[in-house]
């Protein structure tokens, strides 16, 4: 009878289960069922969420929103098929975070936008970082309370030297995030136990400090690589030696995760892992508050309590669908594949918070970084090497392209700024030697290249449509190339042209475009105009420089003398801001930029982000930094400007700087110190540093050091 009274007083059974007082057989059936007691941080029942919190007196209870009001309950009892589950709130000893507190203030609930602004203000108060970092972190904090409503998420990795503020940034996020588990030296079993086995609930978020060895720990690495996708599981066999039993458990892997360390995890298996991360590079700053004291902890508790209330209130509400088009510089990028996996959740929560434009600006910043990482990866450099080997045959009607492996390997050494020693490429861009075996495997696995031997020469055979897709992926070819449309119409079918563009320039300047008469205006169409993309119904449209590149041909000999182009680009001119230009005007504009005085270089105005409607007048790509020199209308990226500018004087300055700093070895620490000093000398330090690597300055210093030692 006591049990019956207790059950009738709690309000947690489904309505039909409370009628046992009127139906004796029903009561008898319930009494026969065994009771299983469990403890949980969060629990869903009949599309209603129950969260473990402390009440005003400090007692554990469940908080829920029943559709009308917030309520607190001491425990839950749920009838299953063959047992009754009695669920109690998880004890504080099982909660590796500051507990949530049930508040009467939930009756006057704030809007999600107001709470987001509070989150952003708290982080900005304790972190001195770029606005894009603050925005993405704030959105991620709010998103942790709605993880069940998204399919995929990205991770964050904060990297920086000592006292760069990375740990405080990570800890600030952990204080506000949903059940943020902040720790260091975490093992994979710790994470499995924390994430649990519940199918419907994401029980928290993970924040790992000192995570430099993340790529070396196989279990943790695989947990991170699969745990960005909802529904991912990690199976484990549990042994009970006393009973001689083996039990298989399926642990959750999905949750938001963030880590920090003094260096980015690297190694053989790090590439796929780090693709899931957005990298936040931290430097020492001066935040408003450089420590988190008791008052900050109380403020964080208040904010996360409001976030928990919003989680309960909106539990049954889906996040809105969004437009996945993001403006990245002058180019519109439609998120798909990996980019959509990384940013889908952030875009949807941003629209829910009504800060979609703010979120897209931050996302564009990280997309640019992802593109640069992709181009600088081993696969991106191999793609450039393959392109150099086959670019003069891309317009041939053949469905396959062949290239000598030795030529590809040599090209790879060139584009990676490396040297070949004992059949290995030693490059400062990688912390491991690039062997022929490694390159061969990547050509087979990634580029689907087949091996062929002709007259004792090893050849690699590429399917043209596959190769073009990869050259597009690594941003080596533009979408408006005519041969791409012909060879891969299924991929580029949206990029129809009303007029045939100028043919791609072949290597060495032997052919500059097909014209009917010799001596046509530099290979241009007869009317002297350069055509842009048109719509599919052949109606005229305004030239779209974000998707179309306007080409202009100049004399090959002059071309090679004026500007040493990047190794992966065609020897052609790409012009922004005009669609009808004469050859003489173009050469005049080139001379204005290609022959700046030293004073003109000093007076160059650096524009932070690529202006909308502008791309580099030389390479045709929008860059992170565009330079405008006084008296010149077009913009040019720093890399092209430095390529065009006579570097002898700057290189001599760099050598003098070496001598002043008394650098004899060229290890990583010395290079970092040199780069920091170089940034004090010139605003173009990063671009100059890369060119010095290519010129072999560090190799020259290293050889002198070796001779002096040995």
Q: Which secondary-structure segment (H or E) carries 280?
A: strand 277-281
Q: Give Cβ neighbours of residue 386 (< 8 Å, ≥ 6 apart).
A: 403, 408, 411, 443, 447, 460, 462, 467
pLDDT at 271: 83
Q: Which secondary-structure segment (H or E) carries 374?
A: helix 356-376
Tell me if residue 407 falls in helix, strand or coil. helix
Q: How does DSSP assign 214-270, residue by residue?
A: TTT-HHHHHHHHHTTBTT-EEEEEEEETTTTEEEEEEEE--S-EEEEESS---STTH
Q: How far apart are CA 336 and CA 472, in angstroms?
A: 14
pLDDT at 571: 33
Query: What are the structure tokens assigned to 447, written together?
Result: 């580029």
Do 204 and 282 sit in the same domain of this protein? yes
- On whether residue 102 sits in a domain, the answer given is no
Q: Tell me how far CA of residue 15 lies from CA of 51, 76, 649, in angstroms.
A: 21, 14, 85
Query: What are the structure tokens assigned to 41, written together?
Result: 């941080």
- On whether residue 352 sits in a domain, the answer given is no
Do 88 and 122 sit in the same domain of this protein? no
Q: Give Cβ neighbours of residue 478 (< 8 Å, ≥ 6 apart).
A: 549, 620
Q: How far apart are CA 573 and CA 616, in angstroms?
A: 10
Among candidate residues 673, 633, 646, the one with its CA nearest the CA of residue 657:
673
- On whether residue 681 sits in a domain, the answer given is yes
Query: What are the structure tokens assigned to 369, written together?
Result: 């970084």
- On whether residue 362 sits in a domain, the answer given is no
- On whether residue 358 sits in a domain, the answer given is no
pLDDT at 610: 54
Do 288 and 407 sit in the same domain of this protein? no
Q: How far apart are CA 361 and CA 135, in angstroms?
A: 9
Number of domains in the chain: 5
Question: Angle, to 10 degrees, between the axis of helix 131-143 and the axis of helix 356-376?
Answer: 110
Distance of CA 375 to the CA centre of its chain: 13
Neighbour tally for 660: CB within 10 Å: 9
Domain boundary among 446, 472, 495: 495
pLDDT at 397: 84
Among candidate residues 9, 129, 27, the one with its CA nearest the CA of residue 74:
9
pLDDT at 484: 41
Instruction: Decide: 635 and 626 in contact? Cβ < 8 Å.
Output: yes
Q: Which secondary-structure segment (H or E) carries 307?
A: helix 294-313
Do 631 and 702 sit in the same domain of this protein? no
We report the CATH number of the domain holding residue 285 as: 3.40.50.300
Do 390 and 537 sit in the same domain of this protein? no
- Own/partner contacts of 487-491, CB < 8 Å, gap of 24 or more, are 487/394, 488/464, 491/465
3-state secondary structure 82-141: CEEEEEEECCHHHCCCCCCECCHHHHHCCCHHHHHHHHHHHHHHHCCCCHHHHHHHHHHH
Do 271 and 407 sit in the same domain of this protein? no
Instruction: Decide: 421 and 394 in contact? Cβ < 8 Å.
Output: no
- On whether residue 301 sits in a domain, the answer given is yes
Q: Tell me how far CA of residue 395 lies from CA of 30, 386, 468, 555, 574, in angstroms.
A: 78, 15, 11, 22, 20
Q: Tell me how far CA of residue 213 lies from CA of 266, 267, 270, 568, in angstroms.
A: 8, 10, 10, 34
Q: How far apart are CA 568 and CA 214, in angstroms?
A: 34
Q: Tell me how far CA of residue 683 lies from CA of 7, 494, 607, 697, in angstroms.
A: 74, 41, 12, 20
Q: How far apart are CA 107 and CA 284, in angstroms?
A: 42
Domain boundary among 50, 67, 95: 95
Q: Give Cβ neighbours of residue 299 (< 8 Å, ≥ 6 apart).
A: 122
Total-model pTM: 0.63
Q: How far apart are CA 331 and CA 166, in angstroms?
A: 32
In tens, the pLDDT along 435-482 reads: 999 999 999 999 999 998 888 888 999 999 899 989 988 888 764 444
Instruction: Decide: 558 and 591 in contact? Cβ < 8 Å.
Output: no
pLDDT at 246: 85
Query: What are the structure tokens assigned to 29, written together?
Result: 């059936």
In tens, the pLDDT along 316-352 reads: 999 999 999 999 888 889 998 899 999 999 999 999 9
Domain boundary among 316, 344, 367: 316
Q: Give Cβ neighbours of residue 587 (< 8 Å, ≥ 6 apart).
A: 554, 558
User: How many residues comprise the chain?
Assistant: 710
Do 532 and 632 sit in the same domain of this protein? yes
Q: Which secondary-structure segment (H or E) carries 482?
A: helix 482-487
Do 563 and 449 sit in the same domain of this protein? no
Do 408 and 304 sit in the same domain of this protein? no
What are the residue ranges in the chain where pLDDT is below 70?
Answer: 1-32, 105, 478-655, 658-673, 675, 681-710
Q: In which domain, by residue range, is 679 found? A: 648-709
Q: How far apart are CA 416 and CA 376, in angstroms?
A: 8
Chain position carrying tokens 């053949």:
398
Q: Tell me how far CA of residue 131 lies from CA of 78, 280, 357, 487, in angstroms.
A: 47, 11, 14, 43
Q: How far apart are CA 426 and CA 414, in angstroms?
A: 11
Distance of CA 428 to the CA centre of its chain: 23
Do 145 and 252 sit in the same domain of this protein? yes
Do 120 and 186 sit in the same domain of this protein? yes
- On whether residue 16 sits in a domain, the answer given is no
Do 181 and 235 sit in the same domain of this protein? yes
Tell me if residue 651 falls in helix, strand or coil. helix
Query: What are the structure tokens assigned to 464, written together?
Result: 């043209």
Query: Max alpha carbon distance in the chain (Å)?
Result: 106
Neighbour tally for 234: CB within 10 Å: 18
- On whether residue 4 sits in a domain, the answer given is no
Return the sign of the alpha-carbon dihedral for residues 42, 45, 48, 54.
Answer: negative
Q: How far apart are CA 394 and CA 387, in angstroms?
A: 9
Neighbour tally for 206: CB within 10 Å: 25
- Own/partner contacts of 498-506, CB < 8 Å, gap of 24 or more, are 498/531, 498/534, 498/538, 499/525, 499/531, 499/534, 501/531, 501/551, 502/530, 502/551, 502/553, 502/572, 503/395, 504/391, 504/394, 504/395, 504/570, 504/572, 505/553, 505/570, 505/571, 505/572, 506/391, 506/392
């Amino acid at each position: 009878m006591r049990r019956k009274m207790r059950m009738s007083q709690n309000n947690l059974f489904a309505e039909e289960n409370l009628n046992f007082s009127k139906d004796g057989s029903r009561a008898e059936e319930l009494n026969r069922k065994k009771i299983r007691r469990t403890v949980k941080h969060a629990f869903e029942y009949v599309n209603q969420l129950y969260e473990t919190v402390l009440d005003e007196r400090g007692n554990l209870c469940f908080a829920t929103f029943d559709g009308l009001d917030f309520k607190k309950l001491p425990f839950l009892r749920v009838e299953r098929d063959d047992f009754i589950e009695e669920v109690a709130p998880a004890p504080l000893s099982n909660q590796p975070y500051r507990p949530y507190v049930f508040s009467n203030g939930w009756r006057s609930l704030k809007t999600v936008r107001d709470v987001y602004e509070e989150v952003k203000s708290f982080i900005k108060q304790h972190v001195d970082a770029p606005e894009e970092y603050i925005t993405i972190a704030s959105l991620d904090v709010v998103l942790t309370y709605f993880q069940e409503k998204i399919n995929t998420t990205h991770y964050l990795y904060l990297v920086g030297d000592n006292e760069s503020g990375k740990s405080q940034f990570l800890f600030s996020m952990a204080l506000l995030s949903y059940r943020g588990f902040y720790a260091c030296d975490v093992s994979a079993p710790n994470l499995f136990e924390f994430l649990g086995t519940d199918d419907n609930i994401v029980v928290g978020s993970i924040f790992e400090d000192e995570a430099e060895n993340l790529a070396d720990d196989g279990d943790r690495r695989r947990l991170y690589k699969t745990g960005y996708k909802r529904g991912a599981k990690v199976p484990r066999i549990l042994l009970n030696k006393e009973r001689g039993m083996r039990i298989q458990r399926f642990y959750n892997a999905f949750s938001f995760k963030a880590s920090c360390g003094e260096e980015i995890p690297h190694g053989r298996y790090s590439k796929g892992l780090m693709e899931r991360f957005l990298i936040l590079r931290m430097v020492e700053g001066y935040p408003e508050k450089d420590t988190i004291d008791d008052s900050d902890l109380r403020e964080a508790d208040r904010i996360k309590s409001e976030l928990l209330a919003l989680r309960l209130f909106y539990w049954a509400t889906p996040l809105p669908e969004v437009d996945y088009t993001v403006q990245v510089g002058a180019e519109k990028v439609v998120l798909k594949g990996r980019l959509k996996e990384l940013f889908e959740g952030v875009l949807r929560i941003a629209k829910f918070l009504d800060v979609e434009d703010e979120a897209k600006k931050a996302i564009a910043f990280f997309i640019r970084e992802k593109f640069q990482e992709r181009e600088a990866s081993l696969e991106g450099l191999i793609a450039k090497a393959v392109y150099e080997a086959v670019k003069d045959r891309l317009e041939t009607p053949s469905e396959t392209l062949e290239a000598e492996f030795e030529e590809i390997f040599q090209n790879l050494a060139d584009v990676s700024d490396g040297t070949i020693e004992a059949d290995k490429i030693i490059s400062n861009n990688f912390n491991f030697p690039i062997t022929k075996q490694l390159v061969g495997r990547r050509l087979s696995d990634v580029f689907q290249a087949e091996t062929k031997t002709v007259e004792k020469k090893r050849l690699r055979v590429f399917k043209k449509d596959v190769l073009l897709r990869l050259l597009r992926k690594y941003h080596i070819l533009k979408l408006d190339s005519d041969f791409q449309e012909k060879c891969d119409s299924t991929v580029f079918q949206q990029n129809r042209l009303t007029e045939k563009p100028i043919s791609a320039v072949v290597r060495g300047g032997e052919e500059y475009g097909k014209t009917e008469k010799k001596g046509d205006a530099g290979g241009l169409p007869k009317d002297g105009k350069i055509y842009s993309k048109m719509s599919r119904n052949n109606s005229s449209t305004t030239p779209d420089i974000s998707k179309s590149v306007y080409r202009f041909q100049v004399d090959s000999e002059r071309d090679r003398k004026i500007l040493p182009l990047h190794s992966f680009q065609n020897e052609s001119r790409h012009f922004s801001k005009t669609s009808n230009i004469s050859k003489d005007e173009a050469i005049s504009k080139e001379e204005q930029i290609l022959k700046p005085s030293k004073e003109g270089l000093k007076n160059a105005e650096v524009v932070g982000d690529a202006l909308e409607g502008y791309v580099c007048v030389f390479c045709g790509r929008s860059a992170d930094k565009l330079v405008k020199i006084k008296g010149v209308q077009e913009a040019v990226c720093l890399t092209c400007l430095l390529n065009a500018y006579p570097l002898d004087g700057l290189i001599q300055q760099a050598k003098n700087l070496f001598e002043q700093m008394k650098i004899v070895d060229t290890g990583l620490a010395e290079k970092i110190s040199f780069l920091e000093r170089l940034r004090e000398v010139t605003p173009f330090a990063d671009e100059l540093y890369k060119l010095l690597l290519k010129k072999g300055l560090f190799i020259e210093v290293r050889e002198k050091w070796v001779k002096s030692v040995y």
